[in-house]
Amino acid sequence: MSVLNPVLQPTEVKEYLCKGDRFIKWDDETSSASPVILRVDPKGFYVYWTYQSTEREILDITSIRDTRAGRFAKMPKSLKLREVFNLDYPYSTFLLKTLTIVSGPDMVDLTFHNFVSYKENICKDWAEDIMAIARNPLTYNAPRYTFLEKILVKLKLQLNEEGKIPVRNIFQMFPADKKRVEEALSACHLPNGKNDAINPEDFPEPVYKTFLMNLCPRPEIDEIFTSHHLKAKPYMTKEHLAKFINKKQRDTRLNDILFPPAKPEQVQSLIEKYEPSGFNIQRGQLSPEGMVWFLCGPENNLIVLDKLMLYQDMTQPLSHYYINSSHNTYLTAGQFSGTSSPEMYRQTLLSGCRCVELDCWKGRPPDEEPIITHGFTMTTEILFKDAIEAIAESAFKTSPYPVILSFENHVDSPKQQAKMAEYCRTIFGDMLLTEPLEKYPLKPGVLLPSPKDLLRKILIKNKKNQSMSGKRQTSLKKGRNVEPETIEQPTSVDAEDTVWAGDVAEEEPEEEDEQLRNLDEEEIKKMQSDEGTAGLEVTAYEEMSSLVNYIQPIKFNSFEVSAKKNRSYVISSFTEMKACDLLSKFPMQFVEYNKRQMSRIYPKGTRMDSSNYQPQMFWNIGCQMVALNFQTMDVPMQQNMALFEFNGQCGYLLKHEFMRRPDKQFDPFSVDHIDGLVATTVSVTVLSGQFLSDRSVKTYVEVELLGLPRDAKRKHRTKLTSTANSINPVWKEEAFVFEKIMMPELASLKIVAWEEGGKFIGQRIIPLIAMHPGYHHVCLRSESNMPLTMPALFMFLEIKDYVPDAWADLTIALTNPIKFFNLQDKRLVKLKDASGERSGTQTNLSSAETNGVAGSTGKPSIPPSNGSTALHWLFPTWTSKMGR
């Protein structure tokens, strides 16, 4: 249980990072090179560097997307800088001293901070240790107080020439209400004029907490505190705190033996940690202020932290996992115009993506280097080789699990395809899987290998030419030079799978080169309308074909044919429209298909703005590769990033057993129930917000459930706050209830805060199974899923098993029979008083209830608590045996 035993701990910041080292920071645009001292603050919140002028630049560690050292770091292009660093000197040691830190609000808008150390061979350690801090799950999922603590650390890093904190900086940090900031500073007996400054020693953590309590009072927490402490006493005892934890913060569905409730002696350590009064600590008492900091602490993190770590079974077949997948990975903007970049391959892979797409086209003379671009558009080109090098560099930097390269191959030149294959073999080296594993041959009925079997392996998804001899394929796989065979046109893959099945069309047409050459402009536009350029893909020649094994693309025929052939190693790709059509007609067959083999869904070709479709509908039927445009941080991409943040952000998530086991049937459109599963009821009460905007505005919150089609999907919204208060708005409204969630493992809560007028404040999407019930702060994120330091919401979340109304009374009777029968007795007394016929009423009720006769409401009635009668009603067989 997180309240007593937080699972994750922040990464330790090594001493040498805090002490710092001397570097030269250089910039290609200005050709400048300046000596700096590079450091990381002891809490691990910021990387910062100080110039000789004492000017300081600060970089939030959560914005760091990559760190690179040596040959992977940026190299100066400016002639002036190259001379400064002796780059063209034959014995230059530049690569032993260079470090690049990559940061940015998203995967496209990046900044490269370049440093050169005075010492050799230290940059690799700097790169690895900074990346370890940035990649720690708690960096993104820190408790509320950690984000408040970041503000204090930043204020103490931004000192003036006298070494003091300018009050002006505090106003800038809390800009929504200057008057309230002045009053809060005054309450702490601190200077509050805009030209004043505060000595850092006069602003320690206890004083900072007092400042926050005055700036942002928490009346809603005071009410919670009042309802749980001794009447007329201004504190909560150990016993009351333990009761509060067990009643409100603990999941009521947990087994008391496996997950023991909190005991008074255990919570004393919490009081010692959060209570500001030493006198209260000695007496084992918690004040209202201590309650505020307790609810902001790591023990009350909303997220189930052990699910952020690698916790799932990684030994099942690949088809049993959702795989984080990208569409047209090279693009940085729209599908029709914009820049292509190898950097996008680095960024998507670093974010945990495990399937990237390469649209390959024939290069022009004289070099004839294969290129990657979006065909028949105005997007720019990048070299195929540059993309492969970027993939090799970043493939396993943040996840060791296999990477799938989804080739859309338009290179109709045997020579250039051979060059592509050679790049893959030489640049990837041992990372490239060139032949199937011995335990998993490419035979019908044999399951795919697991992610664990394929650790640190790169798999190629490309058409496979089946006409080569076995001996020749073996030679090509091993990279041997062989004489090319004369082949006018390789045969398509698996002719049997090219047959149409009723009104279900193929999804990835295996068109021939001749057809491509004969297409006129009208036909090309038609191909681009839905499938995009996937319909113009050419057949694989020998060298590329030899690299394909477990991910062999074929045309989709029908679910019946696929089941009959039972080949796990073939994959079909579907546009979102075709997949929706299949989903609506054959939902259960689609689920069965995805148990056995893999499917890939990609956006329709008309999404020229690179917008994304909702991935949830395809996860609901077990589609493994639901490919999205990673350059567009819209709601579907936010949901994708939120889901794959869990299980160690490794890029693989194990599907529910109903989507894996052949003996289980699953209909995503099931209305009433799913055999063997208990539905869930979730209620969300939005209580308050903190520091929601830098303006004094009215705000509101939306809460939405994302899940199965038949789940309670209504989007709820709070009222607009009555006053323009963005520092500590309070909502006093009823809970938002999502009564029946069929499969909670597939559901997520989407929470969004808005300003009046619809301006976005922050969002959070969290899988339902990764949320703790109780009172929690929800630290909001940007549209690109980056943690926001200031804004947060305070909510009460209740999660319990769904009980139909007809069984509500029986459930209460079973869980708390004494309480239930006492209530029944009270009801009977009221009935007797109302009717005035005490004896007659009792006789009739007893007769009907003992026989289990339903009352006028249609629900079974319960007898009064007279011992054996009540037990007999609940357990008639058991009490009969006892009577004998």
Residues recognised as catalytic: 327, 374
**3-class DSSP state of 709:** coil
With tokens 């990684």, the residue in question is 314
Residue type at 882 in one-letter notation: M
Q: Of 313, 307, 350, 311, nearest to 329 (Cα)?
A: 350
Residues 6+ apart with CB under 8 A from 24: 33, 34, 35, 36, 115, 116, 117, 118
| Inter-residue long-range contacts of 154-160, CB under 8 Å, 24+ positions, other chains counted | 154/45, 154/46, 154/58, 155/203, 156/200, 156/203, 157/41, 157/46, 157/48, 157/56, 157/58, 158/56, 158/58, 159/200, 160/197
Q: Of 535, 546, 513, 517, nearest to 418 (Cα)?
A: 546
Runs of H (alpha helix) within 136-201: 137-140, 144-157, 167-173, 178-187
Strands 760-767 and 32-40: unpaired
**3-class DSSP state of 497:** helix
667: its two tokens = 């209909």
As a three-state string, the secondary structure of 787-827 is EEEEEEEEEEEEEEECCCHHHHHHHHHHHCHHHHHHHHHHH
Specify which residues 776 forms β-bridges with: 795
Residues 6+ apart with CB under 8 A from 103: 59, 60, 63, 64, 65, 110, 111, 113
86: its two tokens = 């002796």
Residue 717 · residue 754 · CB < 8 Å: no
676: its two tokens = 């063997």
Provide the 10 A C-beta neighbour count for residue 556: 26
End-to-end CA distance of the chain: 45
282: left (phi over 0), alpha (psi -120 to 50) or beta: alpha
With tokens 């929504």, the residue in question is 176
Instruction: Report how far residue 422's alpha carbon sits from residue 406's, in angstroms, rounded to the nearest whole number.
Output: 17
277: its two tokens = 């009064």
**What crossing angle do the helices spanning 288-296 and 205-215 adopt, rounded to 10°?**
100
* CA 791 vs CA 699, 726, 728, 865: distances in Å: 12, 9, 10, 52
Helix (H), strand (E) at residue 767 = strand 760-767
DSSP string, 504-561: B--SS----HHHHHH--HHHHHHHHTTTGGGGGPPPP-HHHHTTB-S-EE-----HHH
Instruction: Report how far residue 325's alpha carbon sits from residue 729's, in angstroms, rounded to the nearest whole number.
Output: 39
DSSP string, 78-147: -HHHHHHTTTTSTT--GGGTEEEEEE-SSSSS-EEEEEEESSSS-HHHHHHHHHHHHHSHHHHS--HHHH
Q: Of 195, 248, 203, nearest to 221 (Cα)?
A: 248
Beta strands in 693-733 (DSSP E): 699-706, 716-717
Task: HSE, CB side, 13 Å, CA atoms: give it for residue 660.
Answer: 15
Residue 142 · residue 779 · CB < 8 Å: yes
DSSP string, 341-359: -THHHHHHHHTT--EEEEE
